[in-house]
Amino acid sequence: MPVQYFTDAHEELRLHIRRFLENEVVPHLDEWEETLFPDGIFKRFGDLGFLGLRYPEELGGQGGDYFSVVVLSEEMARAHCGGLGMAVAVQTEMATPPVFKFGTDAQKRRFLAPAITGEAIAAIAMTEPDAGSDLAGMKTTARRYGDEYVLNGRKIFITNGARCAWCLVVAKTDSEAGHGGFSLFVVPKETPGFQVTRTLKKLGMHSSDTAELLFEDCKVPADFRLGEEGEGWKNLMWELQGERLIAACGHIAGAQGIFEYALQYAKDRSAFGRPIGKFQVIKHKLVDMANKIAVVRAFVYETAKRWDEGEYPVREISQAKLLATQVNVEVADEAIQILGGHGYMAEFPVERAWRDARLSRIGAGTDEIMKEIIAKTYGL
């Protein structure tokens, strides 16, 4: 790995994560694709310190930098842990960062600390049945009555939604204030009026749960509002930058892993009297795959470095997310072509890699939304 981004400590962490995944996760992946991974695996991640790699030690974290979570994301991708990797990323890089950045000390102790240890599974609820890319079209409301808010609305496509201990919910506190009318709330699962109405079947990421949630006269203490009332949209946009960047890191690593698998297959598989990697059409496919991965990975790392240093490079994060996820899907598709019939079979990892990768061009902002954001930064 490039020395300007990863230190010896990062590489030691990488080996620690890799050994753990090889010994305790990979042997169960096929089973979890059928049954979902068990809740207890979060506690195991927490015990090993993997859920708080860049949170301060006083909250139970490891005090590392952003490249510590890049290492975790890359190793999860390398082990082909699509569904579990996404669920862990929701915990570490989507639901908990806003609690750390905008939460009070009491909120951090109550919600963030147990999420770091893995005792509490977290989710984040933005998307609604009628508000996906158009997040401003959310209809979920939160009306204040004294010392509590009453939430009403429905959320969909929520990773960890069925098993979470608490969920970070975006709701309208002022329907007339536009982007200034949104607020964030931490809602414990046991809150009356918080219902999981169904779990959803999907193309990929089979080992993780994806749920539809209903909030029906759900009363939440005002103390559980995250940040100031009306600042939810601004805070959510900050959260999405981290979500998109970690997606870029994981998916370009996923592309690298599938490329390496296809490369080895092309060396081992023979047809017409020689390894298929000796045929020009196959070797050129592999070269094209390798080139795209190398270029995008360099860009992703440089963008991650800027984020780690406190910058807010919206254009570059959007570009990184767009390019990395497109390359991952393309590489997985080409790998299936190289493997032929074997690539279409569930017993080979490229089949699951393609199914899992395809979500990335939709979640955290579609390709089209990324292009719109990038265009705006150029004054278009």
243 is catalytic: yes
Contact 230, 173 (CB under 8 A): yes
3-state SS string over 85-148? Answer: HHHHHHHHHHHHHHHHHHCCHHHHHHHHHHHHHCCCCEEEECCECCECCCHHHCCCEEEEECCE
DSSP-assigned beta bridge partners for residue 199: 211
Token reading at 63: 């005090």
d(CA 62, CA 170): 29
Q: Are strands 225-226 and 182-188 parallel, antiparallel or unpaired?
A: antiparallel
Interstrand relation of 166-172 and 122-125 (parallel, antiparallel or unpaired): parallel
Distance CA 221, CA 23 (A): 43
Per DSSP, what are the bridge partners of residue 166?
Answer: 122, 188
CA dist 180 → 155, 233, 236, 238 (Å): 20, 7, 12, 15
Both structure tokens of 107: 């909120």
Report d(CA 357, CA 322) in Å as an integer: 13
Q: What backbone phi and psi angles, to 5 degrees, belong to 174? A: -150, 105
Q: Token pair of 158, please?
A: 């929520």
**In sequence order, what are the beta bridge partners of 65?**
none
The one catalytic residue in 243, 316, 334, 351 is: 243
Instruction: Give residue for tokens 């009453």.
Output: 150
β-pairing verdict for 210-221 and 194-199: antiparallel
Question: CA 111, 117, 121, 126: dihedral to nearest 10 degrees?
Answer: 60
Q: Return the half-sphere exposure (C-beta side, CA atoms, 13 A cut-off) of residue 127.
A: 18
Active site residues: 243
